[in-house]
A and B are shown apart, each in its own frame.
Chain A
Amino acid sequence: MSADAAPEFDADVGAIAAALRAPADACVVVRALAQRHAWHAVVRGVPRPAAAAHDCGAMVTAIVDAGIGYAACADLTREGLQRATDRALSWARACARRGVFDGVAIPRPRAHGIVRRAVEAAPLPPARELVGLLRAESDALRRDARIVHWSASLRVTRTRQAMFVDGVRLAEQSFSFVEPNLEAAAADGGDVQTRTLGGQYNGFCQQGGFDVIERSGLVGGGARVAGEALQLLAAPNCPSGRMSLLLMPDQMMLQIHESIGHPLELDRILGDERNFAGTSFVTPDMFGHYRYGSALLNVSFDPGAAHELAGYDADDEGTPALAVPLIERGILVRPLGGALSQARARALGVPLEGTANARAAGWHRPPIDRMANLNVEAGDTPLEAMIASVERGVMMRTNVSWSIDDARNKFQFGCEWGQMIENGRLGAVVRNPNYRGVSATFWRSLERVGDAASRETLGTPFCGKGEPGQVIRVGHASPACLFGDVDVFGAER
């Protein structure tokens, strides 16, 4: 197996899945996953020790009547998976007696014959070359004695996953995820400012190979990132007041994620997450007519965007993945709900069309409704025209702080980089820019949507949700967007 190939399973999972014993009225789904990580970093000028991780295991899901149960293990022998099957059946029976699925026709996986190969336009070079690249950027980051912390990092993950239902292979998909980043913290006296390539939590992340690194701007980016940290150090604090707000794609991504993505998750709307991740201000009666944003807002669920971090061909409930609109011309049309959530909503008298978005964070976690690729479609306003239209406002880049209530309504976000806009011109850099608002009204203040030239494909590897907890990859593509009359503020001093 070459270093670049997707990892193999530790056993012939298909053959073993076909031989599993279960009652005739049970449906048994086996989802196997093999994963290999490599992490490279140069931190404050010193390469961190090489670190790799190999993971492989499977989850068996059993469906019996109106009950579902699961059991996951790394033991992919016939005995190991049979033990997991028996345990999953036990849970399914307990769930059938005491579950929330009364009257729900539990859907079976519908995918068939799906084979997806990892997207990798340009292969990654050997580890030594990657570390050399990171070292060069690390050296560029340390351009000034005021840079007190600097790092260049890269995480590469290759994954293969397959799904079998009653022994029949429905889908096999491979992925290659690449997460490059640069970070510089500049300090002077008691002040510190941090600037990154894609956010402190790896906002620039895509599927691919070396092409992702090229698109990220990491090569040659060290000097720019450090220079911007130094600029922030010398900048005044962001002013406070109500003003126009121009959000660039690396903040739009967070805005979409928190105040459109999470509120539209159907399992939240059904109440599943109320003990942990929260509920949603969205209710089923809103779909089809609720004005979520201004008429300029068009949001799509697009798992077919192959380079985007959460591109895939079938979700982890075995539903073939299709691109669909969620918000059209500002009107809410569809939730983020997988096949099981849709069936539950139907049983409650709400027949909602959903999406193929039931996903699991690994072989050891069951699928729940997640975002996948959630994108704002490009408009027709060039960035320069958006800036020219602003009398007084601030442009913000790159998320650094995020907080939103458990119904996904009252939010407060902060960015690394701010720049004043006055009388149609981009002006002084300001630091510690923050803004706050309410989801239900914020999107209605969307005044202009940038054209395709301003659109970027970003995402996050760290979307958290679920009990047990799951951290999953999601993609967000967006143009720059202009909002009117937003509550903006800076730091304490």
Chain B
Amino acid sequence: MAARAPSDGDDRDAPLAERFAPLMARVAQCARPGETSAGWFAGERSDFVRFNRGRVRQAGSVERHTLDLRLMRADRQAHESIVLVGRLDTDAARVDAAFARLRDTIAHAEPDPYLSFDDTGGASRSVRAAGAPNPDEIADTVCVAADDSDLVGFWSAGPIARGFASSRGHSHWHESGRWSFDWSIHVPAAGRAAGGFPGEGGRALKATLTGESWSAPALSAAIARSVRDAAVLARPARRLEPGHYRAWLAPRALADLVGMLGWGGFSERAHRSGQSPLARLRAGESAFDARVQFAERLGDAGVPLFQADGFARPPELALVRDGRHAGSLVSPRSAREFGVAANGAADAEAPEALAMAPGGLDETRALAELGEGVAVSNLWYLNFSDRRACRVTGLTRFATMWVEGGEAVAPVEVMRFDDSLYRLLGSELLALGDVAHRIPDTDTYDARALGSTCVPGALVGALAFTL
């Protein structure tokens, strides 16, 4: 029997909110006297398409919804995560069964001195509908726009939702319909034929486009633009010797770099337990340049303003002001453990919408101001080489260019850097770009992410290349 046509008519674009609202209401009703029941929903109905050489490599759909249930009684609690099928009868039975197991578990659980849960309740609802093309349409749009270029990319689309409900009166729902295409146009290394096995030494131009309303012409135009822009990468590459180089870190490269501060840099728990790379900043032993300002800016980032302990999250929280420590992300659990005030952070205490204030450098003149040096488009595989010194190592990737006389003249072969953020955003910071760009988090490990980083570019006097 023939399968349904590609536009198969099921309600793939319909919001998840209505479908799961009755189940979330049930979570709130599962508490017995003296108990608190709560549930954190994370779900998505996603289409994924990988492209290689401008053709479809792997394509499919994933529908996955999980509910992290939590039962509390006095100072005892337990968690259990279940997977949902999307039908109320089956899912409600699973919720009931899970709470029964949790009831058994907390009967034998030890007291948790750091249990913290908001008992004031609250409700919110934000639903942005998804609009995704069918399989043929996305395949045709990308493959036609790529033409004969070596495009490698990844398409994702469909609704993503987070929800929270509890017997204390919480009822929150946040749903995004964001689609995303993240791609790169590859140019073979000198001596390698186009269409052959890539090996190393090739270069590429990286781009990302996200949106809510599907627009084939917009995506086609962006791909065509990237194909044109990648032509400069065909020039002979320049090999640099290790040393210090004047550099323009484009917003995406700076986003990669400051993303490392999310590894405990702003976490109260990490500070208190000796794990933070910004311990010296907090202690006042080190500082960034006075132009450096960081904040967790959730308000306009498309992320939920609620968290799994029921507390509201402020739209903006200052983390670094005038180059100095200004605040930390403090989860309710850390607040109890360390005796400080919570500020609505999620338990991970990692930024989800880190925002860095722009500076005064007209970014359209960034290469002119650089004069001679390296324009870094992207960084790759960053890790701390000395966490206490906030020293980070990593590599250049994609379209890193050698600049002379304010013009990009040649791609640069991959270089390893190893440098401290206290230097790059401190003594070596010459200027920050005048526009902060929002870099969407396109992470899809386990589930599609919702966050973003908003940063300008940075002109630095010396970036240490080591290999």
Contacts and interface: CB of A to CB of B under 8 A. Distances in A.
Contact of B110 (A47, A85, A361): A47
A149 interface: yes
Contacts of A74: 63-65, 83-86
A280 B467 contact: no
Interface stretch (A48-56, A152-160, A172-180, A306-314): A48-56
A136 to B, nearest CB: 14
Interface stretch (A114-122, A220-228, A399-407): A399-407
Contacts of B416: 403, 405, 410, 412, 436
B407 interface: no
B143 interface: yes
Nearest to B192: A283
Nearest to B101: A52
A68 interface: yes
Contacts of A364: 62, 64
Contacts of A21: 1, 3
A481 B115 CA distance: 47
Interface string A48-90: 1111111111010100000011111111110010011111111
A57 B418 contact: no
A281 interface: yes
Given A54-B81, A94-B135, A149 B1 contact: no
Contacts of A348: 197
A346 interface: no
Contact of A51 (B79, B337, B444): B79
A148 B81 CA distance: 31
A192 to B, nearest CB: 4
B124 interface: no
A68 B55 CA distance: 13
Contacts of B86: 73-75
Nearest to A402: B383
Given A185-B275, A403-B393, A492-B420, A91 B52 contact: no
Interface in A444-493: 464, 467-471, 491-493
Interface string B149-160: 010111010000
B384 A406 contact: no
Nearest to B110: A47
A366 B58 contact: yes
B351 interface: no
Contact of A191 (B66, B134, B283, B388): B388
B200 A366 contact: no
Contacts of B109: 49-50
A269 to B, nearest CB: 6
A94 B56 contact: yes
B6 A275 contact: no
Contacts of B388: 190-192, 491-492
A492 B197 contact: no
Given A23-B3, A98-B139, A190-B280, A269 B78 contact: no
A72 B62 contact: yes
A414 B394 CA distance: 13
A430 B398 CA distance: 37
Given A414-B385, A467-B154, A90 B6 contact: yes
B197 A272 contact: no
A409 interface: yes
Contacts of A191: 388
B391 interface: yes
B57 interface: yes
Interface in A336-378: 348, 350, 361, 364-366, 368
Interface string A266-306: 00011110111011111110000000000000000000000
Interface string B126-170: 000000001110111001000000101110100000000000000
Contacts of A55: 66, 81, 83
A98 B140 contact: yes
Contact of A91 (B60, B66, B98, B197): B60
A342 B133 CA distance: 32
Interface stretch (B28-36, B181-189, B247-255): B181-189
Contact of B199 (A275, A280, A414): A280
A10 B94 CA distance: 11
Contacts of A366: 58, 60
Interface string A85-129: 111111101110111100000000000000000000000000010
Contacts of A409: 200, 414
A428 interface: no
Contacts of A85: 3
B80 A90 contact: no
Given A185-B273, A436-B467, A492-B391, A70 B197 contact: no
Q: Which of B65, B134, B394, B444 has the most CB of A within 10 A?
A: B444
A274 B198 contact: yes
B246 interface: no
A31 to B, nearest CB: 12
A259 interface: no
B381 A405 contact: yes
Contacts of A419: none
B384 A73 contact: no
A257 to B, nearest CB: 13
B98 to A, nearest CB: 8
B105 interface: yes
Contacts of B359: none
A319 interface: no
A90 B105 contact: no
A163 to B, nearest CB: 17
Nearest to A279: B198
A392 interface: no
Interface string B174-217: 00000000111010000000000111111010100000000000
A269 B61 CA distance: 26
B274 A192 contact: yes
B361 interface: no
Contacts of A68: 58-59
A94 B136 contact: yes
A279 B202 contact: yes
Given A51-B79, A276-B154, A412 B393 contact: yes
Given A47-B110, A403-B394, A272 B56 contact: no
Contacts of A77: 85
Contact of B56 (A88, A100, A131): A100
Given A49-B112, A53-B80, A432-B386, A69 B184 contact: no
Contacts of A276: 154
A46 interface: yes
Q: Which of B58, B98, B114, B273 has the most CB of A within 10 A?
A: B58
A10 B93 CA distance: 13
12 contacts: A50-B105, A51-B81, A52-B80, A74-B64, A86-B8, A97-B136, A192-B279, A271-B197, A274-B186, A284-B197, A407-B414, A492-B388
- 4 pairs of A and B residues whose beta carbons are closest in the complex: A70-B60, A407-B200, A149-B273, A469-B445
